[in-house]
Amino acid sequence: MSAQGHDEELRSERDRLADLYTRLDAERARAQREYESALGGTGGTPMERDVRVRASATAMKRLKVADDGLCFGRMDALSGEHSYIGRIGIFDTEDDYTPLLLDWRAPASRPFYVATGANPEGMRRRRQFHTRGRRLTDFTDEVLGRVGGDDGAAAGGDAALLSAVNAPRGEGMRDIVATIQAEQDEIIRLDHPGVLVIEGGPGTGKTVVALHRVAYLLYTQRERMERHGVLVVGPNPAFLDHIGQVLPSLGESDVVFMTPGDLVPGLHVTAEDAPDAARAKGSPAILDVLAAAVADRQRLPEEPIPIELADTTVRIDAATAEWARDEARASGLPHNEARPVFTEIVTYVLTERATARIGRGWLTRSDRDAWADLRADLTKELAQHEAFTAALDELWPVLTPESLLGSLYSSPERLRAAGADPSLARTDGEAWTVSDVPLLDELVDLLGHDPAAEEAARRAVEREVRAETEYAAGVMEILTMDREELDEDLGVAVGDLTHGDDLADRFVVRDNRELVERAAADRDWTYRHVVVDEVQELSEMDWRVLMRRCPGRSFTVVGDLAQRRSAAGATSWATMLETYVPGRWEYRSLTVNYRTPAEIMAVAAALLAEFAPDVAPPESVRACGVEPWSRHVTGEELPGAVEAFVRDEAGREGTSVVIGPPGTPGAVPPSETKGLEFDAVLVVEPERTLADGPRGAADLYVALTRATQRLGVLHRGPLPAALAGLGPEGRSGRSPEHPA
């Protein structure tokens, strides 16, 4: 294409994009009107009005994401037709809804991502746009279907990809909607109803691929998935902040983000157990310990417990308690919900004994009504008897997961009685760790709810509704009030209300929280799809929690077995998954490293070969031209060297981080950088990190692979042999090369 032809094409494409933005603005205005109309509407039931408001609000959110990069490409077919690809779909409403812009997730958009010279997918040319805000600055073309074309077209796919991976990192992960590669697209669009495992080394884009797959599933299965939402589980809060804008940038907001320490509502923990305790808590064998701990609290009295009634004294002996315990356990109900069965048996025995004693001598067998009245009075007296309630609390207490587990950890006697590993003992029983979360969640089901508390809550709600209805009915009786004044006070025309219940509905407090808020606060909420990052760290007990959250077993999980640091984590995918989804999980791998340049990956690969020799490192897509370096420092020199790095990087564009062993001043532990990326990384004292055995080797591998441009290492002790490839600080590097 000549320079003049290029300029003419650029002007034409700018006009095209301007038209698309005009139509986008019109769509936004229409959505805004519908939202305002829904807010002020009075027709239909309150639930129907609420649905309209939420639907129009969701439509507005989806349209807000498209300002930057609304349209990022064009496909030219061999037939001569061309199609534009973008973040959302836009249609010509005046021409039978002809598509003007294809949503990147639409089936018709797939050739844009997967076409190659050898397999052009019916395409003649792929054009990729370069934009800044709403302005088109340039475009690159890639001619398909032939090798060595004579029109001088650029390899647009490589150009766009390299521009993206070489760009300085900002705050948070960016979507890759404009540069999805063929191997990534295949995974994103994979139609698999079970668990999809995506494994890839550092920088292979497994996380962002999983998030784009969520966006794709929400697009293709919106009706099924949207009402229940999607759960995304990441290793730490920093990681969740890093990825938090990817799905909103793709127009999807009904997504709940959690760490493994957040999976029990109201509990947020980040502390880790020592390896032995983590291994014990993550094993399914802990289920027997929990069951035994619950059974241990269902006790028999060592001595009969006296209950002094008004006319006699009865005793709860071991035989009575044992009968009641056997019946309660045989009910199959959770512990707390079985307490009424236990209570009923004990109450029956005590009332029978008391009735016989009190009625002896003045009631005969024929006085059936009197006997029945006496039993009823005694039953009522026991229900209100403080000593009897205290005895029940001793023999069959109402337990919470926190009270049971905390008292188990802090009591050597209870640990022994439950057959628990001694490593679980700790002074502060309720100093929760991440490994405690699945145990607490398990105990929710083992213990069940407190029926008495639930009944009290139900009655309170009934009283509130009854009071509101009575109040509303009283308002309706004020017929002498001026009609216009009444309409203004109530915010609704009296003629529209025919009953006190209708008016009461105006006063009832409704749950107006967004789906994300409601789901995060509800332990029993179930999701249609779950994404788990760093899945190699999950224990078998963690998997039980997640399976409860997603009964449909629809998961996208991403990880790298070589980066496993948890003693309870996965050693193989089959070991973890066959128990829960036998024959319903698929494995896919990503092999291209888009983050870590070849110079840095060579150093990390040497370490990988030492601690995981069977794992092949991912192949870097680029070189950066800057060699990683190392420098020996003394303890006195270390703080100054770190400050110098921070000061130097502050004057550069992009992001940087100092990574070191836990407790190192000014450094972030490797575990807190998992999944993150920075333009520059300084690794401090790798020899100390490596000294932590297999977990330390995995941590150091993570630390070395966070950098996208520059890597430095400061060591006080001898440089580990695996890092011998690091040259001295200041060594010049080669120029960046275009990957083959």
**Known binding-site residue numbers:** 200-207
Q: In one letter, which amino acid is 488?
A: E
Could you please report the per-residue DSSP string of 12-44?
A: HHHHHHHHHHHHHHHHHHHHHHHHHHHHH---S
Give the integer Cα–Cα distance in Å for 680 and 673.
13
The closest of 561, 540, 563 to 280, measured between CA atoms, is 540
In this structure, the number of other CB atoms found within 10 A of the CB of residue 204 comes to: 26
String of DSSP letters for 266-289: T--------HHHHHHHHSTTHHHH
User: Which residue intervals of 41-122 are DSSP H helices?
Assistant: 46-64, 110-114
Residue 312, Cβ density class (10 Å: 0-12 exposed, 13-18 middle, ≥19 buried): middle
Token pair 């507005």 in the structure block, residue: 60
φ, ψ (nearest 5 deg) of residue 608? -55, -40
d(CA 549, CA 412): 33
Dihedral pair phi/psi, residue 556, rounded to 5°: -120, 115
Question: CB within 8 A of 664, min separation 6: which ones?
Answer: 684, 685
Phi/psi at 388 (nearest 5 deg)? Answer: -65, -45
CA–CA distance from 22 to each of 16, 430, 615, 697 (Å)? 10, 58, 51, 54
Q: Which of 633, 623, 649, 615 is nearest to 684 (CA)?
A: 633
600: left (phi over 0), alpha (psi -120 to 50) or beta: alpha
3-state secondary structure of 59: helix
CA distance 256 to 517: 8
Alpha-carbon distance of 105 to 121, in angstroms, equals: 17
Sheet holding 555-559, edge to edge: 255-258, 230-233, 529-532, 555-559, 195-200, 585-590
Phi, psi at residue 92, to the nearest 5°?
-85, 105
* Terminal Cα-to-Cα distance of the chain (whole angstroms): 25
Phi-psi region of 41 (alpha: psi -120 to 50; beta: other; left: phi over 0): beta
The DSSP code for 668 is B
**Which residues does residue 129 pair with via DSSP β-bridges, in sequence order?**
139
148 Cβ contact partners less than 8 Å away, ≥ 6 residues apart: none
Q: How many residues does the chain have?
A: 740
Q: Which helix (H) or strand (E) holds 558?
A: strand 555-559
Residue written as token pair 């490593």: 423
Distance, in Å, from the CA atom of 153 to the CA atom of 274, rounded to the nearest integer, reads 58
Q: Is the dihedral of CA 442, 448, 450, 455 positive or negative?
A: positive
Give the integer Cα–Cα distance in Å for 545 and 273: 18
Annotated binding site for ATP: 200-207
Q: Residue 531 is inside which H or E element, if any?
A: strand 529-532
At 523, is the secondary structure helix, strand, or coil?
A: coil
